[in-house]
Structure 1
Amino acid sequence: MFENKMIKLRKLSANDYTTYHDWRNDMEVMETTSLNFDIYTLEETEQFISAIAAQSTAKGYLIEYKETEQTVGIVSLINIDYKNRSAECVIDIGVKDVWGKGIGTAAISLILEYAFNELNLNRLYLQVFSFNERAIKLYEKMGFIHEGKFRQALYRKGKWHDIVIMGILKDEYDQHFVK
């Protein structure tokens, strides 16, 4: 369940802050995923990862690339609402050398399977910056539907950008993946 041919997912722990710290401070990595485009101290990253690992409404997993046995990113379900059976999906591939190798697809596939078949959620949603066309194409390929946008909600590199809201329902996932 937590692995496929390409990757393994390992539960995030409070001790994983050193792994995430370099990605969090790489502007090229965070440019397309982080609202808070800033530099963080090691202590701030430790507090951030500890908070995610301790939340009952979040499930975070490090992505390990089997070919190199390297930890290359993180995929999480956050803002889990068990009553209404929904959660937000977040992914960062922090190792730039593996961009474009299908790791995002593999990780989203595993997190969708986990969310719908293990946690019994009905809806996953995500936010993606309108200029991140590669991610939008990935999410569309994985069955996510455009639900709306926050217009001009992000100022990056001297321009305003929309934040696109996308979602997928359990029955859409079943139609897309379950044969």
Structure 2
Amino acid sequence: MSTTSLRRGILLAAIVPALLTAGCAAGGTGQAMKGAASPPTAPSDTATDTGPPADMSPPATDTMSPSPSGTMSPSGGADAAAPRAVVEEFFSAMADKDTDKAVALFAPDAVAAVDGEPTAEGTEGLRSLIKGEEEETTGSPTIEEAMVVDSWAFVRATKGEGADETRAFFVLSKENSDWKIDRLMTNSAS
């Protein structure tokens, strides 16, 4: 299995539970979310109970949830400060048209899917994409949301206003003690 395929699999394994957790915490109305968020019910002592005996129920497992060590920070917080700073540094480098600085913020095998452009993969693909980004948006970037789950971070940001607004979703990975942009996806509001 290639390193890229492995990283994508790990990424999906990190994103899906985080999104489900965030949806459940936000009071999602989907039936799947309600079922996932519902606490287990106590076994009934009545004779009309037709469910399996409590001792035959499969044990509850939670292998995909964030660790209980407090490494999940859906509202931002101190855990999300470093990934937020990397995203802010990316926007600053883009505003300064500093391609080298912007590319250095990405992991070597990162992927960027920028609205209206072919998907860029790896350092050279990112360099070409960033050099080709000449369109300016107005306004300062706004970090809308940041979340850290173990060695992954998710940052959602916007830049610009109205029809010129660009939305960006960053997935960052922690390499040694540094956060690097692993995936970037953007689209426009219009």
TM-score relative to the length of structure 1 = 0.29
TM-score relative to the length of structure 2 = 0.28
**Bigger proportion of residues as strand:** 1
